[in-house]
Amino acid sequence: MKIVVCVKQVPEITNVRVNPETGTLIREGVASILNPFCEYALDHAVKLKAANPEIEIIAVSMGPPQAQSALMRCLELGADRAVLVSDRKFAGADTWATALTLAAVIRRAVPDADLILVGKQAIDGDTAQVGPEIAEILGMAQIMYGVEMSLTPNRKRIRVKREVESGYEVLEARLPALVSASKGETLRRMPSLADVLAARRRELRFVTAADLDLSENELGLSGSYTQVVKVFPPSPKQGGRVIEGLEPAAAAAEIAAFLKSEGYVG
């Protein structure tokens, strides 16, 4: 059985900086990490393999050459091999062009994939679109926002506990299928020294546009139906008013007077 985990390298930032002239994110001098939700997806794959040792885990990432470091972390955390999809022709890809490229890579590199796991979203774009688009392109069943996963006894179906607005649902899908991972109770792990050394001996394959059965019009900016015109941070909000040192009745009267002065109540 083979599990493909699609991962992304993202900037490690807490405060987004935007170029005021171009409206694009400033990435220079910003360290990159494996997207946390992708790491949760990988952790689910490792747990499934712990219960089913015959499983092979293949990590796949599309990005510039430096994304190799994100895949190396995947190998350290339990992936058996990795594939880096990197080519200048992929630059500017929107979610659709990205999904189309990754689907083509999966068809070529892991045509017998039984399960595809993805993070529910990337922390830099937050679109949560690439995973569902891959599933649609490959004609797979899909379950989003999984927090617990297990294979049924016959290993022909995946059972997923997933987050919904009202709580949780438990769903099953026939394999092959795609599942996106939310955080749940998963904790990010640190690889051991033995894991780090073992990762250096595992296969990390490179794939370019020439290796895929896609035309240049389907790749990168040319194959994108959407374009980001501008990125900007939201306007800062002013701090609220804090009422302290009053008895409950007096505090309630103060709040009522404020609401009336602002026109929220008559």
Strands 157-164 and 56-62: unpaired
Q: Is 258 part of any domain?
A: yes
Q: Which residues are CB-neighbours of 37 under 8 A, at least 6 positions away?
A: 119, 120, 121, 122, 123, 180, 181, 182, 183
What was the pLDDT predicted at 14?
64
Report in angstroms the alpha-carbon separations of 186 from 36, 40, 103, 121, 168. 10, 6, 27, 16, 16
Same domain, 16 and 97: yes
Same domain, 23 and 155: yes
Same domain, 59 and 96: yes
Q: Is 76 part of any domain?
A: yes
Report in angstroms the alpha-carbon separations of 52 from 33, 152, 183, 184, 211. 29, 11, 22, 22, 32
The type of residue at 117 is L
Residues in the chain predicted with pLDDT less than 70, given as ranges, are 13-29, 186
- Structural domain tally of the chain? 2
Same domain, 165 and 256: no
Same domain, 159 and 243: no
- 51, containing H or E segment: helix 36-51
Q: Which residues are CB-neighbours of 23 under 8 A, at least 6 positions away?
A: 229, 230, 231, 232
What was the pLDDT predicted at 238?
80
Q: Is 231 part of any domain?
A: no
Q: Is 51 part of any domain?
A: yes
Same domain, 141 and 262: no
Token digits for 37? 């939700």
What's the predicted TM-score (pTM) here?
Answer: 0.82
Q: Is 194 part of any domain?
A: yes
Give the whole-angstrom CA distance, residue 125 versus residue 43.
22
Same domain, 143 and 211: yes
Q: Is 188 part of any domain?
A: yes
Number of H helices, E strands in the chain: 6, 11
Same domain, 110 and 187: yes
The type of residue at 230 is K
Same domain, 207 and 76: yes
The CATH number of whichever domain residue 130 belongs to comes to 3.40.50.620
Same domain, 175 and 143: yes
The type of residue at 22 is T
Q: Is 201 part of any domain?
A: yes
Same domain, 52 and 168: yes
Is the backbone peptide bond immediately before 234 cis, with ω within 30 degrees of 0?
A: no
pLDDT tens column, 47-82: 999 999 999 999 999 999 999 999 999 999 999 999
Q: Is 228 part of any domain?
A: no
Same domain, 42 and 166: yes
Domain that holds residue 202: 2-218
